[in-house]
Structure 1
Amino acid sequence: MATTQKLDPATEITNEIIALLERGTMPWRQPWKIAGGGVPLRHNGERYQGINAFLLGLRATMMGYSSPYWMTFNQARELDACVRRGERSSIVVYYGSAKKRGAETSDGDGGDEGKEGGGSYRFLKSYRVFHVSQIDGLDASYHPEPEGDPSDGPQPIPEAQAFFDAIDADVVIGGDRACYIPSLDRIHMPPMARFESASSYYSTLFHELGHWTKTEDRLDRSFGVSSFGNEAYSKEELCVEISAVVGGQRLGFAPNHIENHAAYVGSWLKVLKSDSRFLFTAAAHAQRIVDFLVAASETGTKAKEAIHEAA
């Protein structure tokens, strides 16, 4: 009797990313803007986070989807809509936890890889969703129109500019190099005029701020001694690159920091092939980066408002 091998969501997803990277490209690049700011949404408007935001954003980029909404087959039926025959679903994952005796369980969006409490264990489950473009009979509200064009030129995007201006990081504008210098705790950025678009500028700045979060007094993230191209370097780069994708979704600019460079693609392939779950770990770190920078921006905004009111 033939047996069916049990699905391993982590391996399936990682293999899909590996296959795309082996083409020599980074498939999460997109020149257009998704409605709703680009953050993938559940049918009820709740945001996806972590690995799910990355994966569904990737699929939306590949397929040219403009709506942010996704839902399961049954959720579509509950809305008196129907998934078209032959449409391919997309995988979504979540981590659950259970007491070792199985008395209680909890679950959450795939952003807590590696966490485990005393007396409990973690498990990974998956389910399938469809984009609203694959579904007939949905209300027009599931197909909002994108606002504006993120690639008109190097003109500031007011909301994004305000977000970055409020973060209390040492950012020096000038020169022709984008980098974070740990010894100085300083970011160097070329002026926006040197970029093809404002999106390219903000995506690059978010990437460098991602590195800025790794210090002990911020997110305390380290993968060992880092040098260009080694495993520690590649892991850190993958984390901050995913954070730029998820951050771009959140703020409404297309993620396009790193060009399709063989050195990056090759190093990431090596990491993913050696550890099928590191993509999940990287996405969890990326979500923490996004959350940290969002909180830092909100704190800075409130501080500036307080100073303005006092004046």
Structure 2
Amino acid sequence: MKDHRQSLYAEVTQRIITELEAGRLPWVQPWDASRCACTMPGNAVSGRGYSGINVLILWSAGVEQGFTSQRWLTYRQAEQAGGHVRRGEKGTVICYADRFTPRDEVDKAQSEDREARTVAFLKRFVVFNTDQCEDLPDALIGSTLPLNPIVAVEQADRIIQASRADVRIGCGEAYYSPVQDYVAVPPQAAFHEPINWYRTALHELGHWTGHTSRLGRDQAGKFGTGAYAREELVAEMASAFACASLGIVPTVRHADYVGAWLEVLRADEKAIFRAASAASKAAEFLLSCGEAQA
């Protein structure tokens, strides 16, 4: 089981490294909006959205194979819905990570008067895009329409306002100050295309979520260190996840930290899993601010 789990970590991490080495950011959605709406991947049957590393895996599979939606389901779910996966179609492997407490550990912990230790596990699942299936009900195969860009911007504005973050607009650069707990971004006029202001603002707000009073991530790393690169990776993906959830499609892709990210990923095959999980939590934190004000 341990070797199987480690091989899965290594397999997914190598896939991300290959994308980065090719100059592509796997958490950016370079799809054709006329074919596939800018959206987060979700289960076609349960409606539940995928998170963490699975977002990157499914986005990549969708782009590579030209799927027209980000709706996925298992082989069994397709059959239970009255349809089936077409013969010869290859599924996409996603991961489920959790922790459990072995029964003997519970007994041992009680006898030693301590907290029981948990054990991490990673499990594979194979899912298929609805494009790979036939005879599914119309309710499952209907593509999610992209949000009206104006509405999406309004939603982003509401999130920024509802977060009550100290956002200072007008400086010459974008950054987050962990010590003083404020976000600085240039004015929209400084961007060639205004939509890209939102990607930058959400990136810095991704950092803002990591403050000790919120999600409590390690933000003590100095520029050029592994800790700094890991936090940048989280903020970058948090912005991508939030933009996808809001239907915002930026036109500028920044890859300033690719070299540092590659070093982190090569040194630790679990780093991308941790970063993607933290990014999902950061994006959910920001999006929940807007929901509270809706």
- Classify the TM-score, shorter chain: 0.7 to 0.9
**Structure 1 counterpart of 2:234, one-letter code:** C
Q: Structure 2 vs 1, CA of residues 29 and 144 (structure 1 numbering), >3 Å: closer, same or farther?
A: closer
How does the TM-score come out when normalised to structure 2?
Answer: 0.82
**Structure 1 counterpart of 2:230, one-letter code:** K
Q: Structure 2 vs 1, CA of residues 67 and 292 (structure 1 numbering), >3 Å: closer, same or farther?
A: same
Q: Structure 2 vs 1, CA of residues 260 and 65 (structure 1 numbering), >3 Å: closer, same or farther?
A: farther
1:233 maps to which residue? 228
Distance 1:148 1:251 in 2: 7
How does the TM-score come out when normalised to structure 1?
Answer: 0.78
Q: Which runs of 5+ in 2 are unaligned?
A: 107-114
The 8 Å contact of residues 39 and 250 in structure 1, kept in 2 or not, is answered as yes
2:85 maps to which residue? 83
2:207 maps to which residue? 211
Distance 1:125 1:189 in 2: 41
- 1:249 equivalent in alignment to 2:244: yes
Deviations 1:25-72 (A, max 9, x none): 21323265554x612111221111222233223333444434221011
Q: How does 1:99-248 map to 2 (within 5 A)?
A: 99-101=101-103, 118-141=116-139, 142-144=141-143, 146-147=145-146, 150=149, 157-222=153-218, 224-227=220-223, 229-248=224-243
1:306 maps to which residue? none
Q: Structure 2 vs 1, CA of residues 197 and 206 (structure 1 numbering), >3 Å: closer, same or farther?
A: same
Q: Structure 2 vs 1, CA of residues 131 and 253 (structure 1 numbering), >3 Å: closer, same or farther?
A: same
2:111 maps to which residue? none
Q: Which runs of 5+ in 1 are unaligned?
A: 105-116, 303-311
What's the % identity of the aligned pairs? 32
Q: Structure 2 vs 1, CA of residues 248 and 58 (structure 1 numbering), >3 Å: closer, same or farther?
A: farther
Q: How much does 1:127 deviate? A: 0.9
2:264 maps to which residue? 271
Distance 2:196 2:65 in 1: 21
Q: Structure 2 vs 1, CA of residues 245 and 55 (structure 1 numbering), >3 Å: closer, same or farther?
A: farther
| Higher relative helix content | 2
SS in 1 for 2:120: strand
**Structure 2 counterpart of 1:126, one-letter code:** R
Deviations 1:103-142 (A, max 9, x none): 99xxxxxxxxxxxx72432211111111112222223332
Distance 1:273 1:255 in 2: 28
Q: How much does 1:293 deviate? A: 1.9
Distance 2:152 2:50 in 1: 27
* Higher normalized contact order (CA 8 Å, seq sep 6+, divided by chain length): 1
1:25 maps to which residue? 24
